[in-house]
Amino acid sequence: MALSRFLTLFLIHIALLLGFCFAEDPFVFYNFEVIAINKQFPGPTINATTNYNVVVNVRNKLDESLLMHWSGIQQRRSSWQDGLPGTNCPIPPKWNWTYQFQVKDQIGSFFYFPSLHFQRAAGGFGGFIINNRNIIPIPFNTPDGDITILIGDWYTRNHSGKLIAFECTIWNVSASGARPNPQGSFRYGSINVTEIYVLKNKPPVTINGKKRTTLNGISFVNPATPIRLADQFKVKGVYKLDFPKRPLTGPPKMETSIINGTYRGFMEVILQNNDTKVQTYHMSGYAFFVVGMDYGEWSENSRGTYNKWDGIARSTIQVYPGAWTAILISLDNVGVWNLRTENLDSWYLGQETYVRIVNPEATNKTELPVPDNALYCGALSKLQKPQDINLATSITGGSKLFSTMLMIASALLFLSR
């Protein structure tokens, strides 16, 4: 990729917003156009409510492929739309693709961003608010407003390929962060843990002459075919279900190795940071309970310090250098979900894996079928029908781009039952 591409920023543009009444739960519709321009612009804030169906049509006007990831959004019965290389095939340049998913009973402020090729570092991200339904009370007055603050430093990279800077994202906690755990009285402290993973990251290493980062000695390699699609079409050899429960000794290796999660299991994950900078870990598709953190090496005795009563449920947590953080996850959302560091440089160098949670009883009550518009790639490329990109690109004239950008407006149509 050309250096210049890293210096461009993306625009996400709401071109149109429509509403139709379909099934029981309301829909919100967004149209995104992702365009490389030399000016920063935040994407529109998606404003949804618990259980809403969100439909986002993305038109990829870049000359490289694109995936849009909905960070922290727990999608109901579907990892088909999560927008990461392990779950979705990329949207080819100039193509148009529609995400559709239903948000779960979570409340709070989240964000979306493009997950391929460091595109997040170039901009293209925006906020995603999920409001409580009126019938679900929150223990404080309705906030006067929700202010979404996204702060990003973007990468610049010089000709040696050295990466500088990293991104963080914060939100206005007083307005929208400190909301109750929607699971309410969920008594996580008295549930028996069924599987335990100690995930240790170390400072970057060199594997096959390349700088890589690792978790438990494994530097993750994205599969050419998304994991769950490979399952559905019985493609063998795409990934291994053998992610180690403890750090491997011996030389680090590059593998597409993922965690075999047990549906309805209760997983304890200890994140041990052996690097010299703070790591921020995230798990897609879930909120987990943060039960402990401390300096030093975690040991079985560390469990004595766990908070088993009122830990908060969240999807992202910090792990300090030379310290550990322990989380508990109830594996009730079927699919394949990314577990990664959010530190962009470390993430892209391999510090991630996926957790595969499959209901042994195949039913679309717990997992929706492959969407009709699923994109196919890798071993399944032959299934992909071409798209008439002339149609997709002819609608918006490039000349009007700039003025359109300045006139961006967002609107929402809410549909009640």
The contact set with ligand NAG (CB under 6 A) reads 47, 49, 57, 96, 98, 131, 143-145, 147, 158-160, 162, 172, 174-175, 190-192, 241, 260, 262, 274, 276, 321-322, 364, 369, 373, 391-392, 395, 412, 414
The residues, any chain, with a CB within 8 Å of residue 262's CB and separated by 6 or more, are 194, 195, 331, 357
Note whether 279 and 343 are within 8 A (CB).
Answer: yes
Q: Closer to ligand NAG at the Cβ: 74 or 257?
A: 257
Rounded to a whole number of angstroms, the minimum distance from the CB of residue 8 to ligand NAG is: 20
The strand pairing partners of 99, in sequence order, are 56
Q: Closer to ligand NAG at the Cβ: 39 or 246?
A: 246
Q: Closer to ligand NAG at the Cβ: 60 or 74?
A: 60
DSSP three-state, residue 248: coil
Q: What's the token pair of residue 109?
A: 């402020």
Rounded to a whole number of angstroms, the minimum distance from the CB of residue 241 to ligand NAG is: 4
Note whether 254 and 115 are within 8 A (CB).
Answer: no
Distance CA 231, CA 380 (A): 11
Note whether 31 and 16 are within 8 A (CB).
Answer: yes
Q: Closer to ligand NAG at the Cβ: 136 or 175?
A: 175
DSSP three-state, residue 53: strand
Q: How far apart are the first and last CA of the chain?
A: 48
Q: Closer to ligand NAG at the Cβ: 135 or 391?
A: 391
**Stated length of the chain:** 417
Q: What's the token pair of residue 25?
A: 């739960």
Note whether 146 and 175 are within 8 A (CB).
Answer: yes
- Taking the CA atoms of residue 45, residue 50, residue 51 and residue 56 in that order, the dihedral angle to the nearest 10 degrees is 0
Q: Closer to ligand NAG at the Cβ: 362 or 406?
A: 362
Number of helices and strands in the chain (H, E):
5, 22
Rounded to a whole number of angstroms, the minimum distance from the CB of residue 161 to ligand NAG is: 8
Rounded to a whole number of angstroms, the minimum distance from the CB of residue 146 to ligand NAG is: 6
Q: Closer to ligand NAG at the Cβ: 39 or 174?
A: 174
Q: Closer to ligand NAG at the Cβ: 57 or 222?
A: 57
Rounded to a whole number of angstroms, the minimum distance from the CB of residue 155 to ligand NAG is: 12
Task: Give the rounded distance of the alpha carbon of 222 from its chain centre.
Answer: 15
Rounded to a whole number of angstroms, the minimum distance from the CB of residue 205 to ligand NAG is: 13
Rounded to a whole number of angstroms, the minimum distance from the CB of residue 174 to ligand NAG is: 4
Rounded to a whole number of angstroms, the minimum distance from the CB of residue 360 to ligand NAG is: 8
Distance CA 266, CA 388 (A): 46
